[in-house]
Amino acid sequence: MTLIKSISGIRGTIGGHTGDTLNPLDIVKFTTAYATFIGKTKKTNKIVVGRDARISGSMVNRVVCGTLMGMGFDVIDIGLATTPTTELAVRMSGADGGIIITASHNPRQWNALKLLNAEGEFLTASDGAEVLAIAEAEAFDYADVDHLGHYTSDDSFDQRHIDSVLALELVDREAIRNAHFRVAVDTVNSVGGVILPRLLDALGVEYTMLYGEPTGDFAHNPEPLEKNLGGIMSEVAKGGYDLGIVVDPDVDRLAFIQEDGKMYGEEYTLVTVADYILDHVKGATVSNLSSTRALRDVTERHGCKYYASAVGEVNVTTKMKEVGAVIGGEGNGGVIYPESHYGRDALVGIALFLSSLAQKKLTVSQLRATFPTYYIAKNRIDLTPETDVDAILVKVKELYGKEADVTVTDIDGVKLDFPDRWVHLRKSNTEPIIRVYSEASTMEAADALGKRLMDVVYSMQ
């Protein structure tokens, strides 16, 4: 089964049997459930719809828009648009909510619906659970012919998004323009190829596009990890570039390539931007439990307080609001800057990263060397559906909670913080597995720590 329903939306592969894959009938049901939920508190009767460039996007878009109109909502279709653009469009248009048609970094055969509230932010866990319950009940009430919604197409939000980035006080447009940066950009045949050239033109950055046509037929695995980025790494290594910029299909994740063609490290996208922000504005920072300790180190170096949240963007943003964080995000290259909006935004990340690089007058590799070096190993423990994962995690917590040099955090699985390393075990929401992430000063030490905890878990089964 490749149809996955969760509190954050619905996703799956296109085609196949209803209930097993992402198909028109399931799209209608889930869109109707979302519209029913939004209808309880609607004020403007408007819902924004944006999509990435996936091959199935046009089909899914038409089903979603038609369903919303059938529920009596006026649709603002912003077409090919990034996830952060769609989030901002909800706020800018005063809509009651939004649907982003994107499967993020999943392969080309996947698509998904991601659901936004009136603030242009992802639904909370409780709101998402309510949408799922409505979908399962299937007690739907559609509009009659006199109360059908209207359809509007609006392609102005890309420029409005760019304008909002350029207006941020800490985006140093003059320094960026004077630096005369030359960059290579990999937008993996999706919407980054539409909006990033316009942003870079506005910043005075010279660029070479790789896989810039938004065909949705991805030239490589779209997850921005080193193993998938040989093309841009080779291009930058040829010389003549200051850096490489990589985004995923919906442009909420951001990774960089150093001027020597080596990975900067996606974990360090947020670390670098946070360091730049804290140079100018003191305040708290937030990332999730599975993100690098380097953010904590950098935050404390600035005399500020770091906080960890459960994994998931909505959990990060909730914690950021709670502690008044000036910057936050996730170690997968997601930068959340409240001065713009509470959502991961690669455009904001690019503008702030280039501002830091221009002001400090360093090469990208020199900038990377100013931060602590950590390595994260990612492992998994495959379990049978009958395994009591929660009981195992409780046992791990009890076992290590007795050790004086270990700090245990249990807001999302179990994280064990040792003085010089950490390991995080958390149950997958979609598979019978435990994800085991571990970090240390070398990859060997990180992997060894993860394997050690895996052996502990195996011994408990």
- Give me the active site residues, please: 104
Determine the angle formed by the axes of helices 346-360 and 192-203, rounding to 10 degrees.
Answer: 30
CB 162 within 8 A of CB 194: no
Distant-in-sequence, close-in-space partners of 125: CB < 8 Å, separation ≥ 6: 7, 314
Tokens 């005075």 correspond to 204
* Closest CA relative to residue 203, chosen from 82, 399, 357: 357
d(CA 439, CA 424): 9
* Closest CA relative to residue 254, chosen from 356, 354, 343, 334: 334
* Structure token digits, residue 370: 């100013």
What is the SS3 assignment for 60?
helix
* Closest CA relative to residue 77, chosen from 88, 92, 61: 61
d(CA 227, CA 219): 14
Start-end of H helices in 306-421: 313-323, 346-360, 364-368, 389-400
Q: Which helix (H) or strand (E) holds 9?
A: strand 9-13
d(CA 264, CA 258): 6
* Closest CA relative to residue 399, chosen from 419, 374, 416, 382: 416
Beta-bridge partners for 207:
183
CB 291 within 8 A of CB 318: no
Distances, alpha carbon 426 to alpha carbons 128, 308, 396, 414, 433, in Å:
21, 15, 11, 6, 9
User: Based on C-alpha coordinates, what's the Rg of the chain?
Assistant: 22
* Closest CA relative to residue 260, chosen from 103, 114, 367, 376: 367
* Closest CA relative to residue 315, chosen from 132, 121, 130: 121
Distant-in-sequence, close-in-space partners of 12: CB < 8 Å, separation ≥ 6: 2, 3, 4, 20, 21, 22, 26, 110, 111, 112
Tokens 């951001």 correspond to 254
3-state helix, strand, coil in the chain (%, to 5): 40, 25, 40
